Amino acid sequence: MTDRFETLTVHAGAEPDPRTGAVVPAIQMSTTFKQDGVGGLRGGFEYGRSGNPTRAALESAIVALENGTHGLAYASGLAATQNIGFLLEPGARLLMSDDVYGGTWRLADKVWRRYGITTDTVDLADLDAATAALGGEHPPRMVWIETPSNPLLKIVDISAVARLAAAAGATTVVDNTFATPYLQRPLDLGADLVVHSATKYLGGHSDVIGGLVATRSDALAERLRFHQNAAGSVPSPFDCFLVMRGMRTLAVRMDRAAANAAALAAWLESRREVSRVHYPGLASHPGAELAARQMRLPGAMLSFELAGGEVVARRFVAATRLFTLAESLGAVESLIELPAPMTHASVADSRLAVSPSLVRLSIGIEAVEDLRADLEAAFAASDA
């Protein structure tokens, strides 16, 4: 019997402890494990970098949520990304969505490039462009999809791109941080690897940095497991506990945050101060139809352009009371930021650069009337 997603979020990785009956997985801090004779491991655990029971519980939880067979936990989303990068050999080419998370682009462009791995960017939401990029004589080894993308919320057709990538012999990776497995399950759509910044919706409370990877491929999982240990980018047991604690409420948090986001996106679109709203739940969004097919809900991230330009945008983001001006996203509280000088500063001089008047909102689970009133007051205060 397969449980529904909401049930899985509550129960995955949380078998009551057979010895104590504890309902919540223990935070196992021990860095080493007694052997019954050389190599006689009781629970398969030997040394804390190689494996830890709390981490194993989190890893089994992401397997359940992403409908995979292997899960790996890391110290951050970028540590998870780096471990996927370890799958590439010098000389390999990588194809990325053209508005991937700034830190992902920085890692590819500033670090992997030094090791002979080159990265091309293309608008993967444009299937003709994706087909051209994947159909050449020397196809990339790996395709990196982020959907919805950050900060423009572009929607990439995961199954179409994964099919093109498979035909070209490339591994498909989907950064599923914005959608979460509640809204979209990339492995079901043909992706080989799914990666998360667990810092965002999975943790959900702005109190833990973490990364996760899930896959159905034994071969990829074996190499990732090797590098997780060899490069040591592992999360602490306490961090694993916090991510799991957040994951328990993922479905209810996402339902509420997405409903708030849909209401605010429609309201923002009606404001004269706003020249454009990017939210895949709006009929005006070019990816709306695809999002409706591929995602359970259009998510809780949105961005919009202020008609008054950069000066007004800077005043606006400093004028809210409930929306906190801060980087990051995906938690219970609403956040506001200007991507150009903040989250996307690392791509300022590249073709991934974003408009200085673009405001990004991470919608939380507060009462939507209070969030709307807060934005309304900020419009008034910033002479938008």
Ligand X SMILES: *Cc1c(COP(=O)(O)O)cnc(C)c1O
Closer residue to ligand X (CB): 233 or 382:
233
The amino acid present at 217, given as its one-letter code, is: S
User: In terms of CB distance, is 95 or 378 closer to ligand X?
Assistant: 95
Alpha carbons within 13 A on the beta-carbon side of 126? 10
128 included as an active-site residue: no
Q: Under rule CB under 6 A, which residues in 142-181 are in contact with ligand X?
A: 146, 150, 175, 177-178
Q: Which stretch binds ligand X (CB under 6 A): 5-13, 73-81, 253-261, 268-276?
A: 73-81
The catalytically annotated residue of 55, 141, 185, 200 is 200
Contacts for 176 with CB less than 8 Å, ≥ 6 apart: 66, 184, 186, 194, 195, 196
Tell me 114's DSSP state. G
| Residue 365: CB minimum distance to ligand X, A | 18
Query: Helical H runs in the chain?
Result: 5-11, 53-66, 77-85, 102-106, 127-134, 158-167, 180-183, 218-231, 237-247, 250-269, 288-294, 309-317, 368-381
Task: Provide, rounded to whole angstroms, the least separation between the CB of residue 85 and ligand X.
Answer: 13
Binding of ligand X by 197 (CB under 6 A): yes
Does 34 qualify as catalytic in the annotation? no
Does residue 337 belong to the site contacting ligand X (CB under 6 A)? no
**Residue window 278-307: x/- pattern of binding to ligand X, with contact defined by CB under 6 A:** ------------------------------
> Quick one: 178 or 323, whose CB is closer to ligand X?
178
Per CB under 6 A, 200 contacts ligand X = yes
100: Cβ contacts below 8 Å, ≥ 6 apart: 121, 144, 146, 149, 150, 175, 352
In the residue annotation, 315 being an active-site residue is answered as no
Active-site annotation holds for 201? no
Tell me the C-alpha to C-alpha distance, in Å, between residue 25 and each of 237, 303, 353. 11, 38, 43
Give 174's strand partners. Answer: 145, 194
Indicate the residue among 197 and 355 with the shorter CB distance to ligand X.
Answer: 197
Residue whose CB is less far from ligand X, 210 or 308: 210
> How many chain residues interact with ligand X (CB under 6 A)?
16
Helices (H) and strands (E) in the chain, counts: 13, 12
> Quick check: 360 binds ligand X (CB under 6 A)?
no
What is the nearest approach in angstroms of ligand X to the Cβ of residue 42?
A: 32
Q: Which residue sits closest to ligand X, CB atoms considered?
A: 77
Q: Which is nearer to ligand X, 105 or 379 (CB)?
A: 105
Instruction: Answer yes or no whether residue 60 interacts with ligand X by CB under 6 A.
Output: no
DSSP string, 281-350: TSTTSTTHHHHHHH-SS--SEEEEEETTHHHHHHHHHTS-SSSEE-S---SSS-EEE-TTTTTTGGGTTS
Q: Which of 101, 182, 201, 279 is catalytic?
A: 101
Which tokens hold the place of 205? 């409370």
Q: Which chain residues interact with ligand X by CB under 6 A?
A: 76-78, 101, 103-104, 146, 150, 175, 177-178, 197, 199-200, 209, 211
What are the residue numbers of the active site? 49, 101, 175, 200
